[in-house]
Copies of this chain bind each other. A is one copy, B any other.
Amino acid sequence: MGTRGRVTKVSVADLAAELDVSTATVSRALNGSPAVRPELAQRIREHAEARGYVANRMARALSANVSRAFVGFVIPYVDTPAYSSVAAECARLLSADGTQLILTITENDPERELHQLKDLVASRVAGLIISPSTHILEASKQLLSNLPVVEFHRACGIAAPGVFSEDEQAMSEAVLHLAALGHTRIGYLGTPEALSNGAARLRGLHRGLELAGLDRGAVAMRLLEPTTDNGKRGVRDLLDGSRPPTALIVGGGALSIGAAQAVHESGRRLPDELSLVVYGHPSWFALSDPPLTRITVDYQDLALRAARLLNTVLDSGPARGGEPEPQFVTAQLHLAGSTGPPPKRAHASDRKSRR
């Protein structure tokens, strides 16, 4: 019993020969075609099982010349919940349909991205779930426009559906929250405007400022690539000025992690000396004391929608007809202990006014 020796080597031809039927019958039986006598089908299946037969998906895909065997999953990073949790959930959902995920990490490098997209096309993936790199190449877009594609987190302007977090409102709420507390000098650390989600958050920021009656000039900004290091750097920059902001908003998950660390390292007490609003999965900030006011997104929901969207797109081919509808998962602002009224006095180095 059991498969001894080397790797599986049984083919339909083998089974057919051994049972003295045709390969077509075997194939039909194995695929549950009703056109084969139940008893025979049963016998074939049992024999296949006994011989440890495992169908070759490549051959199958090649023959069918269209199959859902593989789907490409293209992301800039994977070591942050915004991506890893979506990857996990998509892999889970798609595997139920017998679709396998080919994982590809661009590190936000456009060249690498293009190369990987080509490889994915070469693998004849049925479709793609992608979070494009910041400065995606034209050639990459070309490739994408000829494939069933679902975007998430970031959009790159191709005619493909996508799932995104709707950050504008939460962002604007965050500004209003701080303004209501009395803050007038706010620092913003976010991702570049070239990133669709960076742009959305910026819109939210601006809208919040407008509603709060604050001038855009009231905000010191740093727009950086979303990495933990940039989070640290950005916060240090923002805090080091001669007239540092009394409140900080961070728009981006990886940035927030670094930002929270940098704030912590700066020794400023939250919220007495500084108010802080971070962005991202709660688990990253669970240990901080006080708990941080934060903007969160339900990544699982987002993943679910992405997987569903992909199925839709796979059923109807790439970018047919009109502009596809993007879907949105609403980000939520959660208040916690890291935001409060601004310090009573201006920063020491600012004015000489003692008490």
Contact = CB atoms under 8 A, between A and B. Distances in A.
A314 interface: no
Interface of A: 2-3, 5-8, 54-59, 61-62, 69-70, 73, 77-79, 81, 84-85, 87-88, 91-92, 95, 98, 100-105, 107, 116, 118-124, 139, 142-143, 146-147, 228, 257, 260-261, 264, 283-289, 318
A84 B86 CA distance: 12
A2 B263 CA distance: 49
Given A103-B103, A142-B3, A147-B7, A124 B287 contact: no
A146 B101 contact: no
B73 A228 contact: no
Please indicate which of the listed interface residues A92, A146, A284, A287 has the most CB atoms of chain B within 10 Å of its own CB. Answer: A287
Contacts of A101: 102-104
A2 B137 CA distance: 13
Within the oligomer, what is the number of copies of this chain?
A: 2
Contacts of A105: 88, 91-92
A8 B121 contact: yes
Given A62-B62, A264-B289, 7 more contacts: A3-B142, A59-B62, A73-B103, A78-B84, A78-B88, A101-B104, A257-B286
A77 B87 CA distance: 10
